[in-house]
Copies of this chain bind each other. A is one copy, B any other.
Amino acid sequence: MIMKDFYYAYIDCLNRRAWDELGLYIAENARHNGRPFGLSGYRSMLIQDVENIPNLTFVVDRLVCEPPLIAARLMFNCAPKGEFLGLKINGRHISFAENVFYEVNNGKITNVLSVIDKAAIEAQIAE
């Protein structure tokens, strides 16, 4: 599978909440921002994210692939129920970007280095 197709299939898996398919994309020993989550921890993080943000949808805004790396700019329009990144959102609608790098080895994501635009969210809730 070419890398772009692989990545869009991964994003589709997240948007369908198809957690049982996550192992097709995430390696058993995957790391997320330096944390050795593994597949099970990664899955738990996503389930928690969707619990906090029921209308969470991943939209790919920019995608750059050069094996073994993928870089994506994801855009979110959502309404976290309580706190998000330590900010009291309490159901307000916010929009923000996540710029994220993935390392892919043997056909699965082994490392994720993600930065969420917290400053943009702070500016929105200060309005």
A residues neighboring B (CB under 8 Å): 62, 64-66, 69-71, 73, 85-86, 97-101, 113-119, 122
Contact, CB under 8 Å: A97 / B115: yes
For the residues of A in contact with B, the DSSP-based class is strand
Q: Is the CB of B69 within 8 A of A66?
A: no
Chain B residues within an 8 Å CB radius of A122: 86
Q: Please indicate the chain B residues that have their CB under 8 angstroms from the CB of A118 in the complex.
A: 118-119
- Inter-subunit contact B73/A98 (CB<8 Å): no
- Known contacts: A86-B119, A115-B116, A119-B85. The answer to whether A64 contacts B101 by CB under 8 A is yes
Known: A62-B69, A64-B71, A65-B66. 5 other contacts (CB 8 A): A64-B70, A71-B71, A98-B115, A99-B100, A99-B113
- Chain A to chain B contacts (Cβ below 8 Å), 19 pairs: A62-B69, A62-B71, A62-B101, A64-B71, A64-B101, A65-B66, A66-B66, A71-B99, A86-B119, A97-B115, A98-B115, A99-B99, A99-B100, A99-B113, A99-B114, A99-B115, A115-B116, A116-B119, A118-B118
Given contacts A62-B113, A113-B73, A119-B85, contact A101 B101 (CB under 8 A): no
